[in-house]
Structure 1
Amino acid sequence: MVDRLFVLLLQLLPHHLLSRLAWMLCRWRWAPFKDWAIRRFIPLFQVDMGQAQSPYPVDYVDFNAFFTRALRPDARPICAEGQLACPADGQLSAFGAIQGDSLFQAKGMDYSLAELLGGDADLAERFRGGQFATIYLSPGDYHRVHMPLSGQLQEMIHIPGRLFSVSPRTARTLPRLFSRNERLVCLFNTEVGPMALILVGAIFVGCMDTVWAGTVAPADLRISRWPYATPATQIQLQRGAEMGRFNLGSTVILLMPEDALSWRDDLNQGQALRMGEGLGSCRI
């Protein structure tokens, strides 16, 4: 009942207005405010600043710079070759096989692969019968997203939508959560076939960044697409390289094709993961 009341309140909130206000507040550079906010945030969400490239709040120009902070080069070792690297720190909300056109969201709730991909049936067909993993980034997590495999960018698709919270309580209560929210689909070609990394927006997350396009937040309410498959636009990223970041916490969904991956035997729903940790073996 509490979860349902929480979701009902979320449905009534002006998501995009609140996210715009949060965007401005997180970029306010008045030192007394941003230093106070960072110092309060660190113990509240148990942030390990010993892993940060800079552990001092005064070194960050605003709260968003702290939230998207870089880590020390040795803080996240990348798993061995032949392994699929976890793209982000977070909680493994769900993972497993894509059953036809359905992905598992929470107990008793699935959602459509085609709808997640903006209604593109041809794109959805590439992942039908494949594998997926959903990783929830809490506020205290490291918020940069990295490449699970080396790949060449083929296309980026921005799909407008709502900005519901993507916390576990919302995921287990609100049907079709991830296909309702604003999201950014990044499609790569890898040695095992197509791979999609989907950055899902959430309340207070009104924009997402990629390393090749910067902030992606079109005002257009229609789906926007950017092709990158030509030699003039070619972008190649190595396994473990940063590909994007969230300006506040959210969720990453990884899609892999059929027969491309064998999951680790000890993976469990709800498990805490770190970027670069091996998720399973690739079938090359």
Structure 2
Amino acid sequence: MADTAAHSPRTGEHEGIVAALEALVSNTAKGKHHGDDERLGMSAAGNPYTPAPVAKQHHHHWWSKVAAVEGLSQSRLDDLFADHHLGNYTAIRGSEQRIFESMPVAVRIGMHLLFFSSKKTSLLRYSSVEDVLEKMSIKQGKLYDDASDPAAVLEHIKSFIETYQIDTSELLEPDPIKYPSMNEFFFRKIRPDARPLAEQGNAAVVSSAADCRLTVFDDVEAATRVWIKGKHFSIRHLLGDTSLADRCFPPGSSLAIFRLAPADYHRFHHPVGPAVCGPTRHEAGEYYTVNPQAVNADFDVFTCNRRDVLNLTWTPRAGVDVPVAFVAIGALLVGSIGWSKASQGSSVARGEEAGWFAYGGSTCIAVFPPAAKVTWDADLRANSLAGVETMVRVGDRIGISEA
């Protein structure tokens, strides 16, 4: 992280920046962030993944919209923003390739602006960071549930498909006109054959819960050393239940962190099975972005955000039952977390749909106790310890239990 004090607005800049950024927030809340401004980092061929220098040029162009602030030069604007939080490098599994993942305007606002300074010196006229994020999330949620203007919904969906290069041939319903609201498209279903389950007959396998950017860690100490920098992150705080954490997830418990980006298929699936669902705990919280630039900073994203905690009892082999905690975490512009099959007492299979997220990117975390003896696949573990996410899809193998 750069020294934020060195990149704070100087005297005379603050008011102009406030006005410009509030206009961006207003446009975002109105749903105007999937047009040309959204295509940050796109190549001429429409690929959203481009080298960092190209994305940086687009970044400069986007920020030029606030360059009219009196006394604020383009070079100063660059000094303030251009070298911060441009996006994330993500590994492509099975190759040496890494891609540069650009971010939507809403997420940039959440990170560049709302997390750039303390609540007291926020660049927006709100009493707190949490207040503006909650207002944006609630307002955007209503807009994305609105089915009153089918033509506008269809236009927005088509723009979303084009912006994020969505492969509609994978969808259970490929025709965008069939979706009555933007949220219905956002948590769209895919064809069952579009995500084959790895080693389907092997109950000891752990598979990816989502189309996501994945990190895996053998214990919390490794996760906090490399990836999660929130000062208060712990299994106790994540689960919101000290008794459960102490009883079932002692030191040495391992983690899989599944981060969904806005373009991803936004239904999540059970990463283990056969398993039996226990109770689900609902934790109220904030609406922080779960982008790595926030996770890698001193923001307690995972333990402060609104989240649901599902308790599972997994049987990786006959006669062995181990607890697993599966946490669905809401984020910036995620209005709700829905559950498809997670009712207490129900039996679930690995790869079976568990639930969905409404609009926005978000994250699931699976927690395994030492007794599960989960060994993560070597490539995923190596990337994670290097601080790099790996792109995986629902059903891909990510590890195995040796219990």
After TM superposition, the score normalised by the length of structure 1 is 0.86
**Aligned residue among 239, 259, 267 for 1:136:** 259
The Cα of 1:172 is off from its aligned counterpart by 1.6
State the distance in 1 between where 2:188 and 2:306 align: 23
Q: How does 1:144-223 map to 2 (within 5 A)?
A: 144-150=267-273, 151-192=275-316, 193-212=322-341
The reply on whether 1:109 has 2:221 as its aligned counterpart is: no
Please give the per-residue CA displacement for 1:46-70, whole angstroms capped at 9, x wherever unaligned: 2221211122110111111111111
Q: Tell me the SS of whatever aligns to 2:257.
A: strand
Deviates more, 1:165-174 or 1:274-283: 165-174
Which has the larger strand fraction? 1
Task: Name 1:123's counterpart in structure 2.
Answer: 245
Alpha-carbon shift at residue 89 of structure 1 (Å):
0.7
After superposition, give the CA deviation of every residue in 1:28-56 in whole Å (9 maximum; x if it has no partner).
Answer: 11211110110111121222212111221
Distance 2:262 2:193 in 1: 22
1: CA distance, partners of 2:246 / 2:333: 29
Secondary structure of 1:74's aligned partner: helix
Does residue 90 of the first structure (1) align with residue 209 of the second (2)?
no
Structure 1 residues 216-255: aligned runs within 5 Å: 228=344, 234-248=345-359, 249-255=361-367
Worse overlay, 71-80 or 109-118: 109-118
Structure 1 unaligned spans of 5+: 214-226, 229-233
Deviations 1:254-284 (A, max 9, x none): 1111142111111123110101000111224
Distance 1:116 1:124 in 2: 12
Partner of 1:31: 150
Q: 1:19 to 1:131 in 2, by over 3 A?
A: same
- By relative contact order (CA 8 Å, sep 6+), the higher-ranking structure is 1
Query: 1:281 matched to which residue of 2?
Result: 400
1:175-203 Cα offsets, whole Å, 9 max, x none, are: 32100111100111011401111011111
Q: CA deviation at 1:105?
A: 7.6
- Structure 1 pair 107/53, CA: closer, same or farther in 2 (3 Å)? closer
Quote the offset at 1:74 in angstroms. Answer: 0.7
Q: 1:11-90 residue pairs with structure 2 within 5 A?
A: 11=129, 13-29=131-147, 30-80=149-199, 81=202, 82-90=204-212
The alpha carbon displacement at 1:13 in A equals: 4.7
Q: 2:378 aligns to what SS in structure 1? A: coil
Give the partner amino acid of 2:266.
H
User: Contact 1:68/1:144 (CA < 8 Å) preserved in 2?
Assistant: yes
Counterparts of 1:117 and 1:134 in 2: how far apart (Å)?
A: 14
TM-superposed CA distance for 1:24, in Å, is 1.2
Shift of residue 16 of structure 1?
A: 2.3
For structure 1, which segment, 17-26 or 62-71, has the greater mean C-alpha deviation from structure 2 after superposition? 17-26
Give structure 2 stretches of 5+ with no counterpart: 5-83, 86-110, 123-127, 317-321
Q: Is the 8 A contact 2:235 2:245 kept in 1?
A: no
C-alpha distance 78-39 of structure 1, shift in aligned 2 (>3 A): same
Whether the 8 Å contact between 1:86 and 1:148 is mirrored in structure 2 is yes
15-24 or 248-257, which moves further after superposition? 15-24
Identity of aligned residues (%): 27
**2:270, 2:351 within 8 Å by CA — same for their partners in 1?**
yes
CA distance 1:15–1:5, change in 2 (3 Å): closer
Instruction: Tell me the TM-score normalized by structure 2.
Output: 0.61
Equivalent-residue separation in structure 2 for 1:109 and 1:278 (angstroms):
27
- Please give the secondary structure, in 1, of the residue aligned with 2:193: coil
By how many angstroms is 1:103 displaced? 4.4
Note the C-alpha offset of 1:171.
1.3
Contact (CA 8 Å) 1:98, 1:132: kept in 2 or not?
yes
Q: Could you tell me whether the CA contact under 8 Å between 2:228 and 2:295 is conserved in 1?
A: no
Deviation at 1:12, TM superposition (A): 5.8
SS at match of 1:253: strand
Give the root-mean-square deviation of aligned CA atoms: 2.2
